[in-house]
Amino acid sequence: MDSAAKNREGNRKLGVFIHIGLVAVIFAIWYLATRGGVSDVILPSPEAVWNSFVDVVTNGYGTNKDSLFVHLLASGQRLGIAFLLSIITAVPLGLLSGYLPLARHLMDPIVEFYRPIPPLAYYTLLVLWLGISEGSKITLLYLAGFAPIYIACSSGVRRINPDYIRASQMLGASKWQTFIHVVFPAALPDIFTGIRTAVGVEYTTLVAAEMVAAKTGIGWMVLDASNWLRSDVVFMGVILMGITGILLNLVILSIEKAVVHWEGKA
């Protein structure tokens, strides 16, 4: 193992140690704060959160007493469908807008118009148009995730070294061949950055997507628990959302590492 590899391995181990230590410090501060007379409604103890987790796993939550797996599965299905639709549509459109000025002139005004609008502002319109079924919830998550992927792909293409494109054209490659063999691979790091950003944005929109006429979902559970001042369930749901978000990010990072294996080796 060379010195560079040893340094990377050492940095990785140091990073894991720091992460574990930071989590331990946060839990210690949390535990001590709950022993200092803070109300359970404002800050439930770690034991209360754990007990609520065990209770929801064992007895379920909600009027139908659905299990935690049912709530996670409902949210996962909504998030997964919207996420896949975002990738399928935003990646090719973003690459085309970065490669072809005409496509950029057509798409950019639409994306830049709705991107700054808070999701709750147009969720009411989606409910009016699509009803209170799963369609409006998935569409809301889809719109939230489309813009980050589209912008990352478009920016990634425009940042490609023009010498790469000129060199391929000098060798006789057509525009389509240049796009497939030069533009797309060079933009892959930005594509994965946009995908990771989209997961976070869609996850933050999940509560809003499940707040209208939903009876299942981790976001709905957090919202319903807050209405009943069940802060222990709220903390449990937030922690679960954070953990699943980290796991999703790790999955995307592992895929990126396998696909974009040349990144950082220049």
CA distance 212 to 179: 43
Backbone angles phi, psi at 210, to 5 degrees: -100, 5
> pLDDT value at position 35?
85
In this prediction, residue 37 carries a pLDDT of 73
Percent of the chain topping pLDDT 90:
47
Predicted local distance difference test score (pLDDT) of residue 203: 87
Say which residue the tokens 């990352």 belong to.
Answer: 152
pLDDT tens column, 216-244: 899 899 989 998 889 999 999 999 998 99
pLDDT of residue 263: 63
Q: What pLDDT shows up at residue 108?
A: 93
pTM: 0.86
Q: How far apart are CA 60 and CA 247, in angstroms?
A: 23
Phi, psi (rounded to 5 degrees) for 63: -65, -30
Say which DSSP state 10 is in.
Answer: H
252 touches 200 (CB < 8 A):
no
Q: What is the pLDDT along the chain (266 residues), one digit of tens a residue?
A: 566 667 777 777 777 788 889 989 998 988 888 887 777 888 899 999 999 999 999 999 987 888 899 999 999 999 999 999 999 999 999 999 998 889 999 999 999 999 999 888 888 889 889 888 899 999 999 999 999 999 999 999 998 888 888 888 888 888 888 888 888 888 999 999 999 999 989 988 988 888 777 888 998 999 899 988 899 999 999 999 989 988 999 999 999 989 887 765 55
- For 184-218, the DSSP string reads HHHHHHHHHHHHHHHHHHHHHTHHHHTSSS-S-SH
CA distance 249 to 203: 11
- How confident is the model at residue 2, as a pLDDT? 62
pLDDT of residue 42: 86
Q: What is the pLDDT, as a whole number, of residue 1?
A: 53
Give me the torsion for CA of 50, 51, 57, 59, rounded to 10°: -170
The sign of the torsion formed by the CA atoms of 60, 48, 208, 203 equals negative
